[in-house]
Amino acid sequence: MRITIAGTGYVGLVTGVALAEIGHEVICYDIDDEKVNRLKEGISPIYEPGIDQLLVKNQLNNRLSFSSDCSEVYSTPDIIMIAVGTPEKEDGSANLSYVYQVAKDISKYLNTQQAIVVTKSTVPVGTNRKVKQWIEEEIDFHSKIHIVSNPEFLREGSALYDTFHGDRIVIGSEDEEAATKMEELYSPLNIPIIHTDIESAEMIKYASNAFLATKISFINEIANICEKVGANIEDVSKGIGMDQRIGSKFLQAGIGYGGSCFPKDTKALVQLAGDVKHRFHLLEAVINVNNNQPLLLLKKARNYVGSFKDVKVAVLGLAFKPNTDDIRESAALVVLKHLLNEGAQVNVYDPIAIANARKVLGNTVTYYETIEAAIKDTEIVFIVTEWKQVKEFPLRNYLDLMKTPIVIDGRNCYEVKEAAALNMTYSSIGRESVT
């Protein structure tokens, strides 16, 4: 099939590469000329395991191309997929202006008797119908628009794997022909497909993210209580997770969820519920717990140093989670903001997210590409992203390299026993602290 994808970010690019890989002819369109030019040269603008190789392979096969000219991409594809951002507005609701712009561009350039317009972006219930309306109110000639809600569930850091091995594909449509076409599109992937109405498909995405965020805030609250009652969250998580009704995933205590999805999607769902006069108390609590969780790391450190004024600290990890260069809504940024406001001198380490961090943090911090260099002569280290490089970095080296070895581990990367044996100051989440 001939597919046009609007928006070539994490979702659009990964989807485009994967659909080309299974044999479709894909054009990825983006308004960002620089991004498109780099992609035309086979350079991925995002870090994602496996993407570089499949990108180049499918460009050479002539199944994957890139464009920043919307007049050529929307005229006659079999399917148009919308994968633009839906960031948070000030009131927490989803900003649909990018989706609206795509709809308007489609209405201007579409030149077929019928078209399937698929929304992969995460959008509030009711948006797909608006997309249809936005296209139809300006379309030049009679063309039948079928809309399909096909929310995306990939995780950054394993996005290609997830696309090829997803748990399910959700197809929300009221037109049987369009739904069948979508099933054909994805059939080489052999992933279970669930067909729903449009509104249910839209809701599945928000409810999934809200549930996962709830699991994270739940285990973080249990961890906070464990610290006070002398229990160990690692054992507690294991014991809970062995119950198959609960499952062990998303039960790792830490400093909370971040990234471009959970924070905005939870807030958007609270707003969506509010719009229909339903106060979503549970999700509000989940968000509050998450907002507070990174602050606990700072509180722990203050127990040792009092104030951060002129204290030399290192923050290990900038990405919101390992295996991605995405720093959007990263807990690291929350920790850094407070440290800088309170006058700390901050070194930062991240294996791949430094370029993105520089755009936000500029020269307010000093960047290092090795852990050794970042922690040298510091008084406190904060671990905020559980990179493999951090987990494999010997705990003993903190003792050797830091001025005063105080390690505040927001991701439980080390064993408490080991820190105790080394006689260092070590505080983590939901476990006993050692000094």
Residues carrying an active site annotation: 261
Residue 18 CA to residue 58 CA, distance in Å, equals 9
Using CB under 6 A, pick the residue from 26, 54, 79, 84 that binds ligand NAD.
84
Using CB under 6 A, pick the residue from 31, 231, 273, 295 that binds ligand NAD.
31
Task: Pick out residues in 91-150 that bind ligand NAD (CB under 6 A).
Answer: 98, 101-102, 121-122
User: What is the x/- site pattern for ligand NAD, positions 145-184, by CB under 6 A?
Assistant: -------x-x-x----------------------------
Distance of CA 275 to the CA centre of its chain: 26
User: Longest Cα pair distance anywhere in the chain, in angstroms?
Assistant: 76
Q: Please choose, from the candidates 242, 246, 220, 245, the residue with its C-alpha nearest in 3D space to the C-alpha of residue 233.
A: 220
Determine if 85 is a binding residue for ligand NAD (CB under 6 A): yes
| Tally of CB atoms within 10 A around 99 | 25
Residue-wise DSSP of 402-413: SSS-EEEETT--
Using CB under 6 A, pick the residue from 4, 18, 27, 29 that binds ligand NAD.
29
Q: Please choose, from the candidates 162, 107, 164, 167, the residue with its C-alpha nearest in 3D space to the C-alpha of residue 138.
A: 107
Determine if 317 is a binding residue for ligand NAD (CB under 6 A): no
Determine if 32 is a binding residue for ligand NAD (CB under 6 A): yes
Residue-wise DSSP of 61-118: TTSEEEES-HHHHSSS-SEEEE-----B-TTSSB--HHHHHHHHHHHHH--SSEEEEE
Q: How far is the CB of 184 from ligand NAD (least distance, A)?
A: 23
Determine if 329 is a binding residue for ligand NAD (CB under 6 A): no
Cα 89 to Cα 174, 365, 366: the distances in Å are 30, 28, 31
**CB of 237 or CB of 266, closer to ligand NAD:** 266
Residues 6+ apart with CB under 8 A from 249: 215, 241
Q: How far is the CB of 372 from ligand NAD (least distance, A)?
A: 31
Determine if 9 is a binding residue for ligand NAD (CB under 6 A): yes
Residue 9 Ramachandran class (φ > 0 left, ψ -120 to 50 alpha, else beta):
beta
The two tokens of residue 168 are 């399910």
Residue 92 Ramachandran class (φ > 0 left, ψ -120 to 50 alpha, else beta):
left
**CB of 52 or CB of 221, closer to ligand NAD:** 52
Cα angle: 369, vertex 370, 375; to 5 degrees:
115
Determine if 6 is a binding residue for ligand NAD (CB under 6 A): yes
Which region among 2-10, 109-117, 174-182, 292-300 touches ligand NAD (by CB under 6 A)?
2-10
**CB of 29 or CB of 47, closer to ligand NAD:** 29
Q: How far is the CB of 180 from ligand NAD (least distance, A)?
A: 24
**CB of 63 or CB of 264, closer to ligand NAD:** 264
**CB of 85 or CB of 430, closer to ligand NAD:** 85
Using CB under 6 A, pick the residue from 149, 260, 330, 427 that binds ligand NAD.
260
The two tokens of residue 359 are 């755009």
Which region among 7-15, 193-201, 223-231, 387-395 touches ligand NAD (by CB under 6 A)?
7-15
**Interacting residues with ligand NAD (CB under 6 A):** 6-12, 29-32, 35, 83-86, 98, 101-102, 121-122, 152, 154, 156, 260-261
